Structure 1
Amino acid sequence: MRLIKAHVRNYRSIRDTGEFEVEGDKTIMVGPNEAGKTAILQALQQLNPPSEVKKFDALRDYPRALYNDVTTGKVTPAAVPVVTGVFALDESDRAAVSPEFRECRYSLTRFLDNRGTHHLQGVPAVPTYGAMKKDLVRLAAHIDSRAQVAEGGQPARSAADELAGIASEWSDDTRMATGTVAALRKWLDGAYARIDEEAEKEEQRLDRLQEQASYDERKSKALDLLGGRLPVFVLFSNYFRVRPVIHLAHLSSRLQTGVLDDEQYDYGNSCLLRLLGFTAKELSDLGRVAEPGAADAAALASYRDQLDRRSYQLNAASVRLTEEIRRVWNPNPERAEADRLRVVADGQYLKVVVEDDLGVEIELDQRSEGFQWLVSFFVVFFAEAAGKHENAILLLDEPGLSLHALKQRDFRETVSRLAASNQTLYTTHSPFLVGPGELDLVRVVEMRDRRAGTKVHTTVTSRDPAALLPLQEALGYDLAQSLFASQRNLVLEGLTDHWYVEATSALLGDAGEARINDKVALVTASAASKVVYFATLLHANGLKVAALLDSDAAGDQAAQQDTLVHALGQKAILRAKDYADAAVAKAEIEDLLRETLVGIAKGLGWDVEAKAAAQPGRPLVDILTKEAKGFSKYKLAKAYVRWTRDHDAGDLTADERARWKRLIEAVNAALK
């Protein structure tokens, strides 16, 4: 199963985040300090945490400002929902349930007392007595029409009377739930023998009633089955670290008594032991055992087997950790043999050492903070998701914070690789953990007012500039790195223009109609006024440049600047109005997809179909801005990008394909 929606309430700084969407593979949560990002991850983990994780505690987890409501009994923990997750079924889940439930969604809500309730979305409701009543009455009437007089001359009790007795306390709204419907199901089971074998219609009626009466039981079985397949939520925090040297006897004692010297370190250490397949006590006891004498052959063989098993398991874990760490730490194949991690046991001590490319071994804590973090991450991940790698959701709190910027960029690829089989949500402040093509994966977390608490925005918008800073930095870094990398550059006004051009070019290219030259780089200037600066700077470095401008006032002002005209020439200054419908004098790039975007906007709750048809010369964005409440250019563009994933060029109108074909041909001609 994959988490597709989440909703957190009544948890620490969170009053109500609102329901937010979660991406299928990787979701990135950005926001300033104290916004509540960590609290969201901690609450999500409680949907299905590993066994060792602490459960909700009203004293610690209910919003502190409202805690008097709990102590006075105004609020009971059992009635306080904290986290809700909605899951989509994958292929194996669908195969496990009966066909009638294969298109459903599984929803689980965890309450403050740790009780969970679940239900299925997208399936019919449990039938009511009122929905079945007519068929039941007709079936009873058919049975009674065939009734025979009982022995002794006394008439048998009629089926209608039997039914009336069963339903005597029911109303039309009574749900045919499993506990309620037991007597009715028994009556229906006995009705088959009382139906005329030639009455095919009554047999069909009976089949239909039996299916309705058993629906709640079938639904409950599907719920229980899916509940057992719920992914484990593995949360990794920067505070979970593995000690380089562990005294096994001391750790065993702390774990057994529950008195931990350093809870975060002991958690990381216990994860290491689980990864190795031993308890601290087992390794400690093994370190105390004296080697038996040579005369006792059986004891000597057992002792050697224990040592060999320990050695082999430590070696296997070392190899696995080394392989994963090298993918991030030393991605250069020329240094494939560097940094070998070893876990070794020596008496009462378990040591984690690193062997460098010179063969020198040093303890883990003598390596950099970033390296220690990476080792600890993989230890906790492999241990917590042991045996369930294909069914675990990773929650990473500020991953790679101590890694160098370029290592963070490498780790971003590691997260993408893990997310292919383990859905991943992570929080970050770092621009290097947000890829240039990942803005649609971002959820912005902010808390403007503690009375309102933490909010999650599914669009790349925020009233707090600090929340968007990582995204701005990511775009700035990517732009700085790529600005002079391509000989051919198309400068666009904004990010949404970039999305439209890239997505539509790919759509038409896949259909063999038109595609922007692969050697052309799309450069986002963030505003029409900045197109001039970007184009001039690129042109001054001897690069080929074209600019695509909307035909609104800002675009007109930029297109008429002498600097831009002198640098590019008129042929390389492309205007949206030249490719849109002639009726739209001040066309923007959205008008090249006018018909399709009207439909997509309607699906987002912005129905301007009639207004757009009545005013064909008015720019679509102007119509949406004035007529659609809460309209966002980013949300519309993002929805279009998603639309292209499930559609092909044939789903665009013929006019739209023609417009974009002319535009793409013009871009390629200007930059040939």
Structure 2
Amino acid sequence: MKLSKVHVGEFRSVWDSNEFEVGDVTCLVGKNEAGKTAILKALYRLNPLVNTDATFGATEDYPRAYVKDYTRALKDGGQPATVVDAWFSLDQAERDELEKEFGKGVVSAAPEVNVWRGYDNNLGFNVHVNEQATVVHAVTNANLPQDIADEALKATTLLELGKVLDAKAAEMAAAVTAAQAKANELADPDEKTAALEAAKKLTEPKSLRKLREQMTPLIKEGLATHIWNHRLSKRLPKFLYFDEYYQMEGQVNIDALKVRQSENKLNPSDHPMLGLIALADLEIDQIINSQNTQELKNQLEGAGNYLSRQILKYWSQNKHISLRFDVRPAKPGDPPGMQSGTNLWAEVYDSAHLVTVRVGTRSRGFIWFFSFLAWFSQQKDSASKVILLLDEPGLFLHAKAQRDLLDYIDAELKGHQVIYTTHSPFMVDVRHFDRIRIVRDRSMEEDKPLPRDEEGTKVFTDILKADPGTLFPLQGALAYDITQTLFVGPNSLIIEGVSDLVYIPAISDVMQREKRTPIDPRWTLSPVGGVDKAPTFIALFRAQEGLRIATLLDLQKKDQQKIENLYKQQLMQQSHVMTYADFTKTKEADVEDMFDPQFYVDLVNDAYKDDLQAPLILANLPPHTRVIVRIEEHLKASPMKSGVVFNHFRPASHFARHIDVWGPKLDKATLDRFEEAFKTLNALL
């Protein structure tokens, strides 16, 4: 099961969060006090890893401004409010398993499962099922007499099916009773015996009786409830919430830890320590009562080596550290609470400085990373999926370490969904702006009270709903990325990628040679890496004083709405939004479609002459508006040698490097298209 959508309401700063979608990784961006933590904590309590945390209390959790109204409404017979609503989608294996047992199409389109929890502290659920699918499956596999099967298949629900089956059974029972009564009236013994035997044949068939028995629990419980209780409830992912309070202290008294665990009174810092102990394949009692010190030391050393490798893989701040663990009897001079029994110490050895120090004395960023690894490494090995809720995970990390953490999330947490909060630019992955959700509380910004439906924490997918303060981390992230990958000037032409960045200056050079109009050098070409990123880039930088922006983008049908929204949502003037299709006069177009198709095929043949099995022939390419698609489809059927993959940049680079050869081959229609584009752009300056 995979979390796909969430709604939070009537919890702390949240009155109505809006429904928002989540993916494999979701980043909640917002200012301090915007309510990011409230969203995570509400979601955590839906199905927490620590079962005792699955509670909401009106006094503590209901929005304070309205808690009295709420408690009075409850006294007057009102229903407890729902705090968190979550929708889950089934994976294909889960769908196949259900369909095998309950019929093809028994679960509707994703998300199939809705789960919620509120102030009654009961877990509610709803599974979207198609009962008719189960009716058809059950009847067609029951081997019923044809007349009964035909009647049963008219049912659209299990209740209707049950009524049909019961009616047939009752009808047969009545027929048996009537036949037996008539048989008993016969005087002739032989006739009577024959009639009674004939009456038996009217008895309910075994197949009908078996189907009725199978359907009884489903009808009584309800199909959705039955599927949830017996198939899906155990697969509901657990939520693991992690913030600075769960950081390991670096040492613990094992005897005291055992008491806290048995009494369900664990401290937040105990969880990563227990994860460490489990990672070493140890039980608390084994540590306390160990009869083999060397074996214990070996197991702890193994856990330390594993965590050291994990940390060094993603902790670029210091590559000279390793983790060590030691178990020692308590001494009178040990810290308070650790002066009797057995103590476990976590230490860091720094080979660069030849020093060993307790984990608790390292930087707060290191302690956070180490503690998370210790706890999650234990959960990672469990069979069930865990959804990770990381609250400000990069708070104590250096900018480079925050980038390391993003790499860790992508590489090591696959299979486990991650939702994290941040207000740091370095925790925003500009490669995945689709992960970002804006968290905003306008109540914190306005002097006057807002209508209730507008107040409190809101979550938005649309970046245009963000205020300048919320935008800052995104601006910072994008600005940092720009310094690495883009050029931005007072007149920025937004293009898609490096192929455009190569073709446009090269063609412009040809235009000058041909005494035609080149692109104005005042335009700075800014490749953003795809149409998906264009709205984000423009939204973040349109407010910069004196910055003029235009676009020259590829156009595909799937991107039509995104491009139209650039002016419909007033991000840009419509006259500044251009695509190559405006100049090719086709419904779809890439920069490659500005060229004559035969010219581009010849260019590809020359660029890949050592890799193609045979030269491409334009007439043999599959039909499509875009020449790139035609070539890619052809190469799927006839791959290049040695697994070489077609890349748009290679023909572009080949064209630019051999401009003296390929420039003169450009036909008049191609030059006309590019000149029209350049003249249109230049007129905007």
Shared fold (TM-score greater than 0.5)?
Answer: yes
Alignment of 1:25-64 (within 5 A): 25-51=24-50, 53-58=52-57, 59-64=59-64
Judged with a 3 Å threshold, the aligned counterparts in structure 2 of structure 1 residues 208 and 544 are, in CA distance, closer, same or farther, namely closer
Matched residue type, 1:109: W
CA distance in 1 between partners of 2:201 and 2:443 (Å): 65
Deviation at 1:387, TM superposition (A): 3.9
Matched residue type, 1:9: G
Is 1:324 the counterpart of 2:316? The answer is no
Deviation at 1:435, TM superposition (A): 1.7
Equivalent residue, structure 1, for 2:328: 346
Equivalent residue, structure 2, for 1:222: 227
Deviation at 1:88, TM superposition (A): 1.1
Extract unaligned runs of 5+ from structure 1: 157-189, 198-202, 287-302, 503-514, 523-532, 565-572, 577-588, 602-618, 626-630, 635-652
Is 1:440 the counterpart of 2:434? The answer is yes
Deviation at 1:361, TM superposition (A): 1.8
Q: Deviations over 1:543-574 (max 9, x none)?
A: 999xx9x9xxx9xxx9xxxx99xxxxxxxx99
Deviation at 1:463, TM superposition (A): 4.4
Is 1:468 the counterpart of 2:471? The answer is yes
Q: Match of 1:467, SS?
A: helix
Judged with a 3 Å threshold, the aligned counterparts in structure 2 of structure 1 residues 474 and 362 are, in CA distance, closer, same or farther, namely same
Counting aligned pairs with the same residue, the percent is 28
Equivalent residue, structure 1, for 2:190: none
CA distance in 2 between partners of 1:18 and 1:154 (Å): 72
Extract unaligned runs of 5+ from structure 2: 135-155, 186-198, 330-341, 445-451, 506-518, 573-583, 601-648, 658-685
Deviation at 1:211, TM superposition (A): 7.0
Q: Deviations over 1:206-243 (max 9, x none)?
A: 98998799566554332121110111111110221111
Q: Deviations over 1:71-128 (max 9, x none)?
A: 4362689732111111111234234323434655122111223211111136358956
Matched residue type, 1:465: P
Alignment of 1:492-641 (within 5 A): 493=493, 501=496, 516=499, 536=522, 592-593=555-556, 596=558, 625=568
CA distance in 2 between partners of 1:114 and 1:191 (Å): 55
Q: Deviations over 1:486-540 (max 9, x none)?
A: xxx9x9645xxx6xx46xxxxxxxxxxxx93797899xxxxxxxxxx9975969x
Judged with a 3 Å threshold, the aligned counterparts in structure 2 of structure 1 residues 89 and 535 are, in CA distance, closer, same or farther, namely farther
2:459 to 435, 456, 461: 456
CA distance in 2 between partners of 1:521 and 1:389 (Å): 53
CA distance in 2 between partners of 1:132 and 1:271 (Å): 51
Equivalent residue, structure 2, for 1:648: none
CA distance in 1 between partners of 2:268 and 2:431 (Å): 35
1:373 to 363, 368, 373: 368
CA distance in 2 between partners of 1:521 and 1:55 (Å): 59
Deviation at 1:37, TM superposition (A): 0.7
Is 1:662 the counterpart of 2:593? The answer is yes
Matched residue type, 1:107: N
Q: Match of 1:394, SS?
A: strand
Matched residue type, 1:655: T
TM-score w.r.t. the length of structure 1 is 0.62
Equivalent residue, structure 2, for 1:85: 86
CA distance in 1 between partners of 2:362 and 2:520 (Å): 43
Equivalent residue, structure 1, for 2:611: none
Q: Deviations over 1:446-501 (max 9, x none)?
A: 1112752111102222242111211111000000122479xxx9x9645xxx6xx4
CA distance in 2 between partners of 1:367 and 1:213 (Å): 59
Q: Match of 2:94, SS?
A: helix
Q: Match of 1:33, SS?
A: coil
Whether the aligned pair in 2 keeps the contact of 1:374 and 1:400 (CA below 8 Å) is no
CA distance in 2 between partners of 1:78 and 1:387 (Å): 40
Q: Match of 2:54, SS?
A: coil
Judged with a 3 Å threshold, the aligned counterparts in structure 2 of structure 1 residues 534 and 229 are, in CA distance, closer, same or farther, namely farther
Judged with a 3 Å threshold, the aligned counterparts in structure 2 of structure 1 residues 341 and 56 are, in CA distance, closer, same or farther, namely same
Whether the aligned pair in 1 keeps the contact of 2:5 and 2:86 (CA below 8 Å) is yes
Deviation at 1:413, TM superposition (A): 0.6
Judged with a 3 Å threshold, the aligned counterparts in structure 2 of structure 1 residues 214 and 375 are, in CA distance, closer, same or farther, namely closer
Judged with a 3 Å threshold, the aligned counterparts in structure 2 of structure 1 residues 102 and 520 are, in CA distance, closer, same or farther, namely farther
Is 1:410 the counterpart of 2:415? The answer is no
CA distance in 2 between partners of 1:90 and 1:234 (Å): 21
Equivalent residue, structure 2, for 1:65: 65
Judged with a 3 Å threshold, the aligned counterparts in structure 2 of structure 1 residues 381 and 191 are, in CA distance, closer, same or farther, namely farther
Q: Match of 2:245, SS?
A: coil
CA distance in 1 between partners of 2:78 and 2:285 (Å): 38
Equivalent residue, structure 2, for 1:616: none
Judged with a 3 Å threshold, the aligned counterparts in structure 2 of structure 1 residues 212 and 414 are, in CA distance, closer, same or farther, namely same
CA distance in 2 between partners of 1:518 and 1:343 (Å): 54
Deviation at 1:575, TM superposition (A): 7.8
Whether the aligned pair in 2 keeps the contact of 1:431 and 1:473 (CA below 8 Å) is yes
CA distance in 2 between partners of 1:87 and 1:463 (Å): 27
CA distance in 1 between partners of 2:276 and 2:73 (Å): 43
CA distance in 2 between partners of 1:534 and 1:244 (Å): 62
CA distance in 2 between partners of 1:129 and 1:254 (Å): 49
Whether the aligned pair in 1 keeps the contact of 2:158 and 2:215 (CA below 8 Å) is no
CA distance in 2 between partners of 1:53 and 1:410 (Å): 33
Whether the aligned pair in 1 keeps the contact of 2:5 and 2:22 (CA below 8 Å) is yes
Equivalent residue, structure 1, for 2:604: none
Judged with a 3 Å threshold, the aligned counterparts in structure 2 of structure 1 residues 349 and 139 are, in CA distance, closer, same or farther, namely closer
Equivalent residue, structure 2, for 1:640: none
Judged with a 3 Å threshold, the aligned counterparts in structure 2 of structure 1 residues 29 and 83 are, in CA distance, closer, same or farther, namely same
Whether the aligned pair in 1 keeps the contact of 2:243 and 2:392 (CA below 8 Å) is yes
CA distance in 1 between partners of 2:570 and 2:3 (Å): 25
CA distance in 1 between partners of 2:523 and 2:355 (Å): 50
Is 1:234 the counterpart of 2:216? The answer is no
Q: Deviations over 1:238-268 (max 9, x none)?
A: 22111123233344455556677xx443444
Deviates more, 1:461-470 or 1:434-443: 461-470
Which structure would you say has the larger Rg?
2
Judged with a 3 Å threshold, the aligned counterparts in structure 2 of structure 1 residues 45 and 213 are, in CA distance, closer, same or farther, namely closer
Judged with a 3 Å threshold, the aligned counterparts in structure 2 of structure 1 residues 66 and 56 are, in CA distance, closer, same or farther, namely farther
CA distance in 2 between partners of 1:342 and 1:458 (Å): 44
Matched residue type, 1:222: I
Deviates more, 1:458-467 or 1:425-434: 458-467
Equivalent residue, structure 2, for 1:397: 391
Q: Match of 2:429, SS?
A: coil
CA distance in 2 between partners of 1:137 and 1:247 (Å): 65
Matched residue type, 2:8: V
CA distance in 1 between partners of 2:435 and 2:361 (Å): 36
Q: Match of 1:346, SS?
A: strand
Q: Match of 1:378, SS?
A: helix
Judged with a 3 Å threshold, the aligned counterparts in structure 2 of structure 1 residues 254 and 151 are, in CA distance, closer, same or farther, namely closer
CA distance in 1 between partners of 2:558 and 2:251 (Å): 62
Aligned length: 498
Whether the aligned pair in 2 keeps the contact of 1:32 and 1:429 (CA below 8 Å) is yes
Deviates more, 1:114-123 or 1:398-407: 114-123
Judged with a 3 Å threshold, the aligned counterparts in structure 2 of structure 1 residues 449 and 233 are, in CA distance, closer, same or farther, namely same
Is 1:482 the counterpart of 2:485? The answer is yes
1:109 to 108, 116, 131: 116
Matched residue type, 2:297: S
Matched residue type, 1:283: I
CA distance in 2 between partners of 1:418 and 1:191 (Å): 67
CA distance in 2 between partners of 1:195 and 1:258 (Å): 56
Deviates more, 1:250-259 or 1:322-331: 250-259
Q: Match of 2:373, SS?
A: helix
Whether the aligned pair in 1 keeps the contact of 2:274 and 2:375 (CA below 8 Å) is no
CA distance in 2 between partners of 1:270 and 1:396 (Å): 19
CA distance in 2 between partners of 1:280 and 1:467 (Å): 46
